[in-house]
Structure 1
Amino acid sequence: MKKNILAIAALLTASQLIVSCQKQLEVNPRERILETNYYQNQQQAFTGLVAVYDQLGNQSSGYLTKLNLFCSASDDHYAGADSPSDLGDMQAMNNYTVNSLSGAPSYLWSKGFTGVYRANVLLKKIEGINMDASTKARYIAEAKALRAIFYFDLLRIFKNIPLILAPIEPAGMFDVTQVAPADVYKQIEQDLKESLSALPVTIPTADAGRLNQGAAHAVLGKVYLWQEKWALAAAEFAAVNGTAPGASTYGYKLLPKFADLWNWKNKFNSESVLELSYNTTSNMGWSNVGSREGNVMGILVGPRNYVPVIAAQAPDYVSGWSVMPITKELFDLIHYDPRNKPTVANLDSLEKAGIVTYKHANDNTGYFVEKYAGRVSTKAAVGQLELNFGQNMYEIRLADTYLMEAEALLRSGAAVGAGSRAYIFFNAVRARVGLNPVEVTMDNIMKERRLELVAEGQRWFDLVRWGLAPTKLAFKGFQANKNETLPIPQAELNNTKILQSKEWGGTK
């Protein structure tokens, strides 16, 4: 789904629901389209739907994304950057010094509730639009599924959140209260289930990036997995994965080559279940970071002050900012795995061989993220070139759902021996990279997920739901019964009925 924040921003001039969701928009008042006068026809409903999708891939003006924040917090990466004070919100996630005034919680809260707000507006306004019935039903289904996705992230990140299912007038937004997490989970499940019948089975190329039934099943499977509803989770993932590897009702198949997943032109491939879309043509510049469609990860993860010494042997990396360097522990684990080369940019070896030089910046290990590394060959032709990389990002891909189904089956007590469904799907991920089958155990599942999904934003959430974060992240300062969630931003507590979580010194 192509995003266009500037075109869509005019739709959202009404007050946002939560304080930090309000944005100052530089819009000519004579050309402003008020939300109260919008949503008059099918095209306007579609534009409103695009506005909801837009929040999935939202990037802040401070270069924050959900992915780089939680990767920085994991044991697979450090925040990196130029110095311990550079990109401070990522450093706070890395060092577990985040608090209610930090930028990361504010960004993530705003990102999620802006998405919820936009979905609620569309769901309310579309009721009065005279348009094709099946198209209306699809738009409603997409809005509900997207609202569920936003709420799932908000719930996992903050735990104690409001549940708002309709637009709220500005006068009432300070009276919003939180609800029990179980109530939010119930609504997430309801939204996803209600969306299924009106979502398409497959998505044509022209609509690439929109939700289909398979994506809704995959998200619902993750929702069940987090609640330890193992059998229900397994059933949802089975709906996604099909009767056998490569036999999905929705056309999903593992790509034959793992490395092809990271070819920036290979968008919306057969392994993509839910994908965030970026492009090279939106002309993003330093003055409007986060407001256009380039992917900032390309510049963030590249090695700082990168200089090819032997050009014929040096990769054509763009000199970047050394964000998210890979930890030595992870490198040692993946070093001899077939996924190593497409995953890790090994600047340590290149430098020792005299092929390149680069700055040993903050938390340098010599190992960077190859999956997203910006290259001269992939730079945009227009705009500030460092900010306009067009690589898409996977929110969910098929190898992930194969591994999650295997875990759900194992934990539900289903058969996991050779020839079982869990065994076949789990080892299909290994077979794709030429590895022999292994038993389906939790240790093997955890290792496989770590190696398969490096830098895809899954590791921190996995550690939290497995209960391993206090042990695995102790070296970074993680505190049990506190850092499993983030604090509610202070701006949301001021003059409202929202209360801080007990884990962060509050009463909720």
Structure 2
Amino acid sequence: MKKYIAILVVLLQSCSQSILDVNPTDRFTDQTFWKTEEHAQAGLNAIYNSLYGNALHGGNMMAELDGATSNIYTYNGPGGNIARGIHDASNTGIINNRWDQAYGGIGRANTLLARIGDIKMPDANKKRYIAEAKFLRGLFYFDLWIAYGGVPVILDAPTVEQGALPRNTSDETLAQIVKDLTEAAADLPKSYTGGNKGRATAGAANALKSRTLLFAGKWIEAAAAAKTLMDAKTYSLFPDYRGLFLQENEGNSEVILDVQYKNPEYTHSNDINYDQFNTYAPLQGLVSDYYLTDGKTAAESPLYDPKFPYKNRDPRLAATIMTIGSSFKGKPVVAATYPRTGYGLKKGTTYKDNEAPPAGKADNISDLNNIILRYGEVLLNYAEAQNEAVGPDASVYDALNLLRKRAGVAPFPAGLSKDQMRQEIRHERRIELAGEGQYYWDLRRWRTAEKEMNGDVFDYLGKRVETRAFDPKRDYLWPIPSVALQQNPSLTQNPGYNK
């Protein structure tokens, strides 16, 4: 996959005469493209290229979304605008860019689906390419649906007339996402090898389907989608939580889908943003929420020592966050290392705790893959959906305790009620997925954002960093971008926002 991504820019801009006999030779035209399997492959790679969007799944988007929650403080990013409740239809980049970038990917997917039928190529490959395009279209519509609600559902190749379409309902958008993912899962392979690594699999379709149905509150269906993936045994938890996110373990047994980066063609700046710039600074509320290794809170556990507050904590804390007194990049972490809150975000960087960066490494260049879907989340999806559907049965405990065992934390206590288990699952999602951009969407779908995202947030000394604001009458949806509204008068704005 990285090989294909590396040549994508060349394929999109020009081709040698050995591949295309065109005039002019510096660009594709409707008359000369969509003729061969190589063209179909280039078109499919172009859909994957949309994943790199900085408002979708590229760069620092995961940390940016956590910065909109009580997990992380970001002092100058769009996540901070959302956290402070000062975002609107025109002033927050990711709100505007997500719309454009997702529809760009959808347009590419629709074009491939419309044109690939006329291309002579092996039926098995054509079937797979169609399934990959449907998966990616479903993913981009999911990205829109969770942010804006119902959006125009477009299934044909781009035309001028589509710019005047009204919004479909949220339920109609959801139905199309589930349809695309169901059809994709039936025709995608279980895995790839070699240069195709990084492409969508049947597991990716079922994992995203479980996430989608969970977000829709369709508990039985969400549990079933997750269980399909669990029963297939294609994926498993990587034994080392910190190692799961390190570059040498990319594409490990837990990774279902990730954005493929490759230096120098495709890189990001997460190393320098997370570390030296401290752009995304974990907050005390998140750090305090990590249990002790006995599975109890700091207030409950005899293992907690206020003089050494990070000792005996859930090991996922040290794997995710740099704390004062720890070591990172072969140096001790002190209060001045991460001055914004006293903490730094480790997950998403290529650095090690006790090793200095290799000589000559450019701190502003990283090609660590961004994980979109992983098996740990599937287990959480299953546990939450199954608990809501039937209560905390043995299968719920089994799924959750796999995560606890991997982390090195005591298993969940027996005899929890459904409500108690719900709270434990929500806590487990926050800890397991910290820094991965899921907590923001979780708070919105749980309808707890007005509680979690209002009020003051604090640094390691208990000093107020800033005050957060969340308006429940408005902020459970993003505004439709003002530019989109100006270009398409048929679109309606979400409640509480001005055009």
TM-score normalised by the shorter chain: which range applies? 0.7 to 0.9
Establish whether residue 7 from structure 1 lines up as the match of residue 10 from structure 2.
yes
Paired with 1:241 and 1:65, the residues of 2 have a C-alpha distance of 29
Name 1:472's counterpart in structure 2: 452
Contact 2:379–2:399 (CA<8 Å) still a contact in 1? yes
Matches within 5 A, 1:306-455: 320-334=276-290, 335=310, 336-347=313-324, 355=332, 364-375=340-351, 385-414=362-391, 416-417=392-393, 420-439=394-413, 441-455=421-435
Establish whether residue 177 from structure 1 lines up as the match of residue 160 from structure 2.
no
Q: Runs of 5+ in structure 1 lacking a partner? A: 12-27, 81-85, 243-248, 283-292, 303-319
* Equivalent position amino acid for 2:397 in 1: Y
Q: 1:216 aligns with which of 205, 219, 244?
A: 205
Name 1:47's counterpart in structure 2: 42
How far does residue 122 in structure 1 lie from its aligned partner after superposition? 0.8
Contact 1:380–1:388 (CA<8 Å) still a contact in 2? no
Paired with 1:296 and 1:94, the residues of 2 have a C-alpha distance of 22
Name 1:157's counterpart in structure 2: 147
Paired with 1:68 and 1:494, the residues of 2 have a C-alpha distance of 30
Paired with 2:334 and 2:285, the residues of 1 have a C-alpha distance of 23
User: How many percent of aligned residue pairs carry the same amino acid?
Assistant: 26
Q: Deviations over 1:23-75 (max 9, x none)?
A: xxxxx9861222553121111101111111111232379x9753233111011
Name 1:263's counterpart in structure 2: 246
In structure 2, the CA distance between the partners of 1:236 and 1:478, relative to structure 1 (3 Å rule), is same
Contact 1:202–1:250 (CA<8 Å) still a contact in 2? no
* Equivalent position amino acid for 2:216 in 1: Q
Establish whether residue 34 from structure 1 lines up as the match of residue 29 from structure 2.
yes
Q: Give the SS at the match of 2:401.
A: helix
Q: Give the SS at the match of 1:223.
A: helix
Paired with 1:104 and 1:134, the residues of 2 have a C-alpha distance of 38
Matches within 5 A, 1:185-334: 185-242=174-231, 249-282=232-265, 293-302=266-275, 320-334=276-290
Q: Runs of 5+ in structure 2 lacking a partner? A: 15-22, 291-309, 456-467
Establish whether residue 118 from structure 1 lines up as the match of residue 108 from structure 2.
yes
Name 2:129's counterpart in structure 1: 139
Paired with 1:278 and 1:78, the residues of 2 have a C-alpha distance of 26
TM-score in terms of structure 1 length: 0.81
RMSD: 2.7
Paired with 1:366 and 1:174, the residues of 2 have a C-alpha distance of 48
Contact 2:219–2:386 (CA<8 Å) still a contact in 1? yes
Paired with 2:333 and 2:289, the residues of 1 have a C-alpha distance of 25
Paired with 1:337 and 1:182, the residues of 2 have a C-alpha distance of 39
Q: Give the SS at the match of 2:371.
A: strand
Paired with 2:245 and 2:59, the residues of 1 have a C-alpha distance of 21
How far does residue 356 in structure 1 lie from its aligned partner after superposition? 5.7
How far does residue 160 in structure 1 lie from its aligned partner after superposition? 3.2
How far does residue 359 in structure 1 lie from its aligned partner after superposition? 5.9
Paired with 2:343 and 2:183, the residues of 1 have a C-alpha distance of 45
Paired with 1:96 and 1:8, the residues of 2 have a C-alpha distance of 42
How far does residue 466 in structure 1 lie from its aligned partner after superposition? 0.8
* Equivalent position amino acid for 1:323 in 2: T
Paired with 1:366 and 1:337, the residues of 2 have a C-alpha distance of 19
Contact 2:254–2:374 (CA<8 Å) still a contact in 1? yes
Contact 1:279–1:295 (CA<8 Å) still a contact in 2? no
* Equivalent position amino acid for 1:339 in 2: R
In structure 2, the CA distance between the partners of 1:461 and 1:356, relative to structure 1 (3 Å rule), is closer
How far does residue 10 in structure 1 lie from its aligned partner after superposition? 3.5
* Equivalent position amino acid for 1:269 in 2: N
Q: Give the SS at the match of 2:74.
A: coil
Q: Deviations over 1:284-320 (max 9, x none)?
A: xxxxxxxxx1132222111xxxxxxxxxxxxxxxxx3
Q: 1:486 aligns with which of 470, 478, 481?
A: 478
